[in-house]
Amino acid sequence: MKTYDLDHAATTKLDPKVYSKMKPYLETYYGNPSSLHTIGIENKKALNDAKKGVARLLNCDYKELIFTGSGTEAINLAIKGLAFKYPNKKEIITTKIEHKATLNTCHFLETLGYKINYVNLDPDGFIDLKDLEGKLNNNTLIVSIIWGNNEIGVIQDIDKIAEIVHAHHSILHVDAVQMLGHFKIDLQALDVDLMSFSAHKIFGPKGVGLLYKKKPIEIEPIIHGGAQEFNLRAGTENIYGIIGFYEALKNVHDVYLNQQQDLKDTTKYLYDQLKARFKFRLNGPDLNNHRLPGLLSLSFEGISGHVLQYQLNQRGIYVSTGSACNETSMEVSHVIQALHDHGEGTIRLSLGYGLSSKDILYIVEQFSDILEN
């Protein structure tokens, strides 16, 4: 049975070209880059070359990049690292549709006496900018916003958000994990202070994330040990992972950024074919430039999202009911709950590349078989 992975927002397959660049550092070049002998020094050079390559593609100084074990760790380092550096500021602003990495970091800081202020959203998930401005004050430590939402695809206006945040002399952290594979990110052009990324969303390896920290911003490490990553993330560097991140990001710039219109067209074709046959609610904005390419969140009536997911899985079609971090729960996604009360029949389709019109029609037929019977 042919299978169809429609869950690329959860993770992506490691690109063979990326793996080929990583493989020598899993086998032959095994040295610790902190060691002052040949196999260590050679690996240190390869590590620095990869870091400078990532910095060049993101248009920043490589000393502003801190490699971590995941996007989740990068988010934790941004928010906790700032909180531990400036313990006198006790308010954090975020939204209720953030990734769990942000929300649960904020919940933890609440137990330490921090106040979490949630910005109002419109029905499509866009931030109420006036409400954001009204919540900012002299005690605001940080504003943390997900740029492209991993469940409903809404893309926030980061330029306007940054303008408001910095007018009130606060610090902005942006979760850009889902954006990295779809849009060219220029950190010199973006007026952000901290930004988080992950390699496994862009056909790179799992187990490596990245935090951009603008030079003037100071944070405390949350993992203590050696002096790696400019004394901000202790532990022997994941050389093959960082090299994999660089190679995957090169592929984004060389290949995938040129395929975004095709991905949008395929997504619209799937949406239109489903819309012609079934009634459902599209969660998030319309299919326009303010939505992540390839991502559809659909709420059907009369069927559980988990039942629909199971039935599609039996037919070789892999979807989710929300973020992969929540898939063990039978509850409606916190993102959907933040927008409306009717989310029991919600599934997320996040498409990859290379789906043909024949593939789309097969997928739609399987939906028909399930929903009509």
Q: Are residues 151 and 266 in the same domain?
A: no
CB 84 within 8 A of CB 114: no
Q: Are residues 289 and 242 in the same domain?
A: no
pLDDT one-digit tens code per residue, 335-361: 999 988 766 899 999 999 999 999 999
CATH of the domain at 345: 3.90.1150.10
pLDDT one-digit tens code per residue, 90-114: 999 999 999 999 999 999 999 999 9
H/E run at residue 38: helix 38-58
Q: Are residues 229 and 279 in the same domain?
A: no
C-alpha gyration radius of the chain: 21
Q: Taking the CA atoms of 155, 156, 160 and 162 in sequence, report the sign of the dihedral they define.
A: negative
Instruction: Using pLDDT thresholds of 50, 70 and 90, give the confidence band for residue 325.
Output: low
Catalytic residue of the set 39, 41, 116, 325: 325
| Single residue among 236, 254, 272 that ends a domain in this structure | 254
Question: For residues 54, 59, 63 and 67, what is the CA-based torsion angle, rounded to 10 degrees?
Answer: -40
Is residue 325 annotated as part of the catalytic site, yes or no? yes
Q: How many CB atoms lie within 10 A of CB 111?
A: 7
Residue 204 clears pLDDT 80, i.e. is over it: yes
Distance separating alpha carbons of residues 368 and 42, to the nearest angstrom: 57
Cross-strand pairs, 173: 144, 194
Q: Which domain holds residue 304?
A: 4-12+258-371
pLDDT one-digit tens code per residue, 215-247: 999 999 999 999 999 999 999 999 999 999 999
Q: Are residues 42 and 94 in the same domain?
A: yes
Angle at 240 between CA 236 and CA 244, to 5 degrees: 130
Over the chain, what is the mean pLDDT?
95
Residue 20 clears pLDDT 60, i.e. is over it: yes
* % pLDDT > 70, the chain: 97
CATH of the domain at 145: 3.40.640.10
Q: How many CB atoms lie within 10 A of CB 355?
A: 21
Strand (E) positions, 201-333?
209-213, 280-283, 295-300, 317-318
| CA proximity to 360, closest of 241, 246, 276 | 276
| Single residue among 214, 239, 254 that ends a domain in this structure | 254
Rounded to the nearest angstrom, the gap between the alpha carbon of residue 126 and the centroid of all alpha carbons in its chain is 17
For residues 117-141, give the mean pLDDT: 97
Domain count, the chain: 2
Q: Would you state the structure tokens that stand for residue 315, as one six-digit string? A: 């037919």
